Structure 1
Amino acid sequence: MRVLLVEDDRSLAQGIRVALRGEGYTLDWVADGVEAEHALHCERFDLVLLDLGLPRLDGISLLRSIRGQSEGSVPVLILTARDAIADRIQGLDAGADDYLVKPVDLDELKARIRALLRRSQGRAQPRLEYAGVSLDPATQQVFYQGQTVPMTPMEYQLLHQLLARPGVVVTRERLSSTLYGWQESGPGNTLEVLIHNLRKKLYTGLIRTVRGVGYLVERQP
């Protein structure tokens, strides 16, 4: 899953980046509201972590701008030092899905992120279940027919993206941005190699190739 962190405190941003990358997320970071607005206009993210006291464009104004867009449904979790009830109310009324006060416990942050992503995907259950395959976001473990299947971080991310959207073709571009974000991408055949590995570790018919577009797992009847 791809997360945009909007935070002007470099040391805090670095700490969150390390923590979330360790959980299998691809995290991109910007330090002010204008950069964030541009990033959200040009690219797709699964979740936004938003500070309020930002340079150039404050967090509340950015949030209202996001919600005013036609595709402004991305989950937003406000992460701020402002702890007054009035600030919490303002943030939630402006369109935030959740609100955490700094300093934040990283385990709680991870749990709230998982909950928001689950809700945005229309799921009530924590695990993703599909035709004998089970993916647990809390532990980053994958099971097939009850047996643990070892996964590399990239294999896990790719499988998570596909299982979260059964019946939907996920484009190569979307998958690549999920795996790499703004980092330099890997070899041109990386996706094909990862898909091959997933089919080998799980089963051949799990992932279907839509030639020239991307990949999908079929929606179960």
Structure 2
Amino acid sequence: MRILLVEDNTDLAASLVDYLEMKGHSCDLAFNGEAGLNAAISNTYDMYIFDIAMPKMDGLELCNVIRTQYYDYTPILFLTARDTLEDKIAGFAAGADDYLIKPFALSELIMRLEAIYKRYTGVKTQLQVADLQVNLKTEEVSRANSKISLSPNTYKLLVILMHRTPEVVLRHELEHLVWGEDLPDSDSLRSHIYKLRSKIDKPFDIPLIKTAKGRGFSLS
């Protein structure tokens, strides 16, 4: 597995990286939530391990941003000293797959990681609307068995619309989900919708992208 560990305790982080790599896994390391987010959106991982109490962005917020803004469903294991039921509920509500309380045995950590990964690899990772398909693991897009190449933001826009099918996603929500706080000029969304239509609609008989005038867009 390729693992991203986000942990601000440098001694613990170093021990975990050494142990995981000894067990045959590759491990990238970040020491705060913002650095962890940058690593997550810049690379592809099989597993995330997040501390909760971290500087700049805590683990709960990091988990929530990854799930809701980037539609990244890579498994997440929390490592934390927070052991109340309320803490665990908050962790799972943010999108975590498991929760391990500090201190813990390294052997238990590896067993949990491998169990989560086995479940994850059995989960459906394909989105489909009519004859349009997206493989979330490989990011391959095809329609009527013809492969389609998309830019990163156009791909992200398509995945959002497919996740939300058949509902209308409002313009301002799409802009926020694709570009985050760095919002583009008013024509960028229109331009990306045009590019997306030119790839997945125009070469085919039945258009899938619908415009809700003055509101937003849907895919159905």
Same fold (TM over 0.5): yes
Structure number with greater CO (CA < 8 Å, separation at least 6) is 1
Tell me by how many angstroms 1:139 deviates: 1.2
Alignment map for 1:1-221 (pairs within 5 Å): 7-9=6-8, 12-13=29-30, 14=35, 17-18=38-39, 20-23=41-44, 32=53, 35=58, 45=68, 46=71, 49=76, 51-53=78-80, 61-65=86-90, 72=93, 75-78=95-98, 82-83=104-105, 100=113, 112=120, 125-182=124-181, 184-203=182-201, 205-218=207-220
SS in 1 for 2:167: coil
Q: Distance in 1 between matches of 2:192 and 2:178?
A: 11
Q: Distance in 1 between matches of 2:109 and 2:133?
A: 39
Q: Distance in 2 between matches of 1:42 and 1:162?
A: 18
Q: Distance in 2 between matches of 1:38 and 1:22?
A: 19
Cα offsets for 1:65-99 (capped at 9, x unmatched) = 366xxxx4x532347684579889xxxxxxxxxx5
Task: Report if the CA contact (8 A) 2:51-2:80 is conserved.
Answer: no
Q: Distance in 2 between matches of 1:171 and 1:43?
A: 20
Q: Distance in 2 between matches of 1:211 and 1:6?
A: 44
For the pair shown, the structure with the greater C-alpha radius of gyration is 2
Identity fraction in percent: 20
Task: Report if the CA contact (8 A) 1:23-1:140 is conserved.
Answer: no
Q: Distance in 1 between matches of 2:77 and 2:65?
A: 18
Range that drifts further, 37-46 or 139-148: 37-46
Change (3 A) 1:37 1:17: closer
Task: Report if the CA contact (8 A) 2:161-2:169 is conserved.
Answer: yes
Q: What is the root-mean-square deviation in Å for CA atoms of aligned residues?
A: 4.6
SS in 1 for 2:133: strand
SS in 2 for 1:12: strand
Cα offsets for 1:122-158 (capped at 9, x unmatched) = xxx4322222211111211111211111111111111
Cα offsets for 1:40-76 (capped at 9, x unmatched) = 899982558453226xx67975432366xxxx4x532
Tell me by how many angstroms 1:217 deviates: 1.3
Cα offsets for 1:176-219 (capped at 9, x unmatched) = 3332335x23333222111111101111532112234322113x
Q: Distance in 2 between matches of 1:173 and 1:136?
A: 26
Q: Distance in 1 between matches of 2:143 and 2:78?
A: 39
Task: Report if the CA contact (8 A) 2:134-2:142 is conserved.
Answer: yes
Q: Distance in 1 between matches of 2:197 and 2:187?
A: 16
SS in 1 for 2:150: coil
Partner amino acid, structure 1, of 2:156: Q
Tell me by how many angstroms 1:30 deviates: 9.4
Task: Report if the CA contact (8 A) 2:166-2:218 is conserved.
Answer: yes
Partner amino acid, structure 2, of 1:100: L
Range that drifts further, 165-174 or 8-17: 8-17
Task: Report if the CA contact (8 A) 1:52-1:60 is conserved.
Answer: no
